[in-house]
Every structure is written in structure tokens, then in C-alpha cells.
Structure 1
């Protein structure tokens, strides 16, 4: 059963299904790209691994009181004053290993030469913490390198994270829900040029360009076809379209989506 949405499905943004969909989408993207690659190029799935910490705060609700019972023989009975300790607060920090998959196009003749990097952002890339720091560090390195960088942001929530300046994009294109950015190498000192595909919830996902080397023409990649394959192969059986999605839709989009299926309970 296909997604009821014409493009990106916002129900896939839920953390409970996103990690699986993230990998499934990049696998489908590689499958779509592979037949178009010249013989000297290969698309490989790579993995970024880092440790994130999340905190659980709790406090003691019961204080311990030491009470000395009165003496019944020998001398005067005494009662030791109870000791009431101020309950402390506690912090437990959990460590979790995060694995993020991304796609690299390499030249076979030069195994170490990365030609194009394709990143599909994860929620951790758009939240303060180690995941965002790691992503932004790699983004800076790629912008200064000889590799092309393609960033796909299919998450409405979180902080803006793509390389192009957000204020300039808002001034030029107005509102968007999802965004695709292409930065072509090599970097030019003093400025960066980007190809931009702003997408709303109501849009079909675009056909984008995948640059290789100067002696090769750009490839065309239909993101909607990639999404359809990933949706069919992914964890979509768990999606419940009778409930609001996470993050929730705006009132306007919720009203529009109600014509596709009942988003809000009536």
C-alpha cells in the first residue's frame, strides 16, 4: 500500500520508525544510483559511530531518621534527637552507541578518492549534543574538500542544520517543510554556491542532480521513486494514520491531510 502523501510522509519522522527508514532509504537510493554510475565509480554505504549521553534525574522522597529508643534501666532515660537529612537529588547518565549511515560515491581507480557524499539527516543531527557536533564537524570538512556534498533534510523538527544560510533561504524561498541542498566541489575561498530544492508537505519529492567529476555528466536521481521503494520496503506497517503524527502538523496542513485520511479524531 503506497503512502497517502504525495511526497515525504510525515509519519515516518517519528523516532520509533525513523532509524529503520533512514537506512532503508539510503539502501534504495544506492540501488537507484548504481545502474547510472560509470564503470569507474562505486556507491558505498558508510557508517558514522559516536557515543551519546542522555540523563535521568530523580530525587529521594524519603529521608532516613535515626531514632535511639529510651533506656529502661540505669540512670535517666534519654532520647537522642532524630537526624533529618535533606534528600539529595541524583543524576544518572546513560551512554548509548549511535550509528548513522550515509552514502559515498568513490572512484574505483583511486580507492581513497571520495567524489560525492549524500547525507540524510537524523534527529540527533538536529538536536544539541554529540550527534549535532559530529555532523557539523563533518559538514565543515566536506565544504572545504574536493568532494560534493548533498544534504537531505526530511525532518520538520529540530534545529536548522544544513550548510546554506537559513535566513538567506527564508528571504529567497519562504517557508518549506523539507529541504535538499547540493554543494559542488571544489570549495571557493570566501563563498559557497548551493543548489537548493525547497519542498513542502504537499509537493512530490524532486528529481535532483548527482555530480561526479569534471569529465562526467551529472546524474539525475528521482527522490520520489527512491522514497516509494523505501516506503514499500520499510517499517510502514507500524504507522497509525488514525492518530496525529509526531511532530504534529500545522492546523492548515492537518486540514489538508484530512482529505487524504482522518488525521484528527472527529
Structure 2
């Protein structure tokens, strides 16, 4: 059964699903591109690793040099320790859990010239680690700026309405979701596809070398196929509100839509 929404399904944005949706979209877009760009180009799925602190709302990783270290000397490894400390009465420790930084693996796409191995186009699908304030966003923006200052084309897909959009200028479009296509020869100008939860997802070009026609990504078709193959229609509970919640007017529209499609009473 297809998604009850005409475009982006906001229920896919919740933390329980997004990591899986992100990975499935990356693979599906890669598969879509391969048939269009072969044999001159290779579509590579790359992986970037973030270390994040799950207990820190700002997503900063606090790593530094400890105040005290205990080192084992290389000589006399089995020599017994002479001094033994005793625990004072009333000072028994309790067990606590310390927050450990997580290693977050996030995939992205690169279209490479098969002959030279040079990256022609980079494609990113944003995740919360990219958008929310903190180290993850800073790392992402540094990579974004490096690509925008190079001869590599840049495609950025933002299907997460939470947090601030990535920096751009000169647009009065207010949208929940965005696709940006930045061709190297047209910078600083780029094409922005803005759309909301009530609209279908756009098709957009993947620019290649100047003499080669752009590949086309039909994002709506790809998302619909991902939704169907993953069986999200029977996994998602449409009786409850999505996370993050929709704006009031969109929530009312979504409620009517879900009733119409038989997902709510």
C-alpha cells in the first residue's frame, strides 16, 4: 500500500525510522543513477563517521586531555602493588552510567569520472546530525564549503523540517523541505526546489561533465518505492501524531487526509 501522503511522509522523519530511510534513499538514488551515467561514470556510496554525545542537546563531543592519567610501566609488569587503599565507612560507591559518544555512520553519494576517479558530483541527504547545532553541523558545513569552492557539482536533499536550513541567500521561499542543485559553473547561483508536506517531491537533475546530459532523479518515485519495499504502511502507526509534529494547519490537513485514506477513524 502506498503512503497516504502525496509527497514526503512526515512519519518517516521520526528517529525510529529516519536512519533506515536515509540509507534506503541513498542506495535507491545510487541505483537510479547507475543506469543513466554508465559507462563513463561510477556512482559511489561513501560513508562519513561522526562521534557525537547523545546526552548533549548541542551535539558537541567533549573530548580532551584528562587531568590525571594512570600508566602501566613497561618494566616489572607483574610486580605486586605494595600500597592498598581502604574504603572509609559511609563512603560506599553507587553504580552510575556514563554517557559514551556514539559513532554515527552516515552515507552519501559521489559520482566519479570512471577514467580519472575525480569526483564530478557530490550528493547529500541531510540527517539530524547535520542540521542541529553542534559539531556535526560544523563538520558538515566545512565539507559543504569545500565542495562549493571546488569544481565539483553539489546536490543537497533536506527532508527534515526541524532545525535551521543550510545557509543560502536571495530566496523568499518558505518551505518544509528543500533540494538544492549547485552546478560548479553557475556558482554562487544554485537551483532551489522548495516544497511542503502537501506537495509531491520534485524531479531534479544531477549535473555531470559539460558535454554530458544531466541524469534525472525522480525523488517522488524513489521515495514511493522505498516506502513500499520497506513495508512502512504496516509499521507506521498513523493513529498518533508524527515526530516532529506538523504545524497546526498541516496537522489538520493531515488528519483529514489520513481519515480519507482509511488510516484513521
Report the TM-score range of the alignment, normalised by the length of the smaller protein: 0.7 to 0.9
1:94 counterpart = 2:90: no
Q: Distance in 2 between matches of 1:150 and 1:234?
A: 25
1:126 to 121, 131, 135: 131
2:168 aligned residue: 164
Q: Distance in 2 between matches of 1:230 and 1:53?
A: 30
Contact 1:152 1:181 in 2 (8 A): yes
CA RMSD of aligned residues (A): 2.4
Q: Distance in 2 between matches of 1:12 and 1:205?
A: 14
> Structure 1 residues 136 and 49 mapped into 2: Cα distance closer, same or farther (>3 Å)?
same
Deviation at 1:217, TM superposition (A): 1.3
Instruction: Spell out the pairing of 1:1-266 with structure 2 (5 A cutoff).
Output: 1-55=1-55, 92-111=98-117, 113-161=118-166, 163-165=167-169, 168-169=170-171, 171=172, 173=173, 175-186=174-185, 192-234=188-230, 236=232, 237-262=234-259
Aligned residues: 225
2:64 aligned residue: none
Contact 1:21 1:235 in 2 (8 A): no
Contact 1:20 1:234 in 2 (8 A): no
Contact 2:182 2:190 in 1 (8 A): yes
Listed one character per residue, the Cα deviations across residues 18-74 of structure 1 (whole Å, up to 9, x for unaligned) are 000100011111111111114111111100012112337xxxxxxxxxxxxxxxxxx
**TM (normalized to structure 2)?**
0.79
SS in 1 for 2:107: strand
Contact 1:23 1:101 in 2 (8 A): yes
Worse overlay, 233-242 or 123-132:
233-242
Query: Structure 2: where are the runs of 5+ without partners?
Result: 57-90
> Structure 1 residues 109 and 253 mapped into 2: Cα distance closer, same or farther (>3 Å)?
same
Worse overlay, 38-47 or 4-13:
38-47
Q: Distance in 1 between matches of 2:217 and 2:129?
A: 26
**TM (normalized to structure 1)?**
0.78
- Which has the larger Rg? 1
Contact 1:146 1:187 in 2 (8 A): no
Q: Distance in 1 between matches of 2:52 and 2:7?
A: 32
Deviation at 1:97, TM superposition (A): 0.3
Worse overlay, 20-29 or 226-235:
226-235
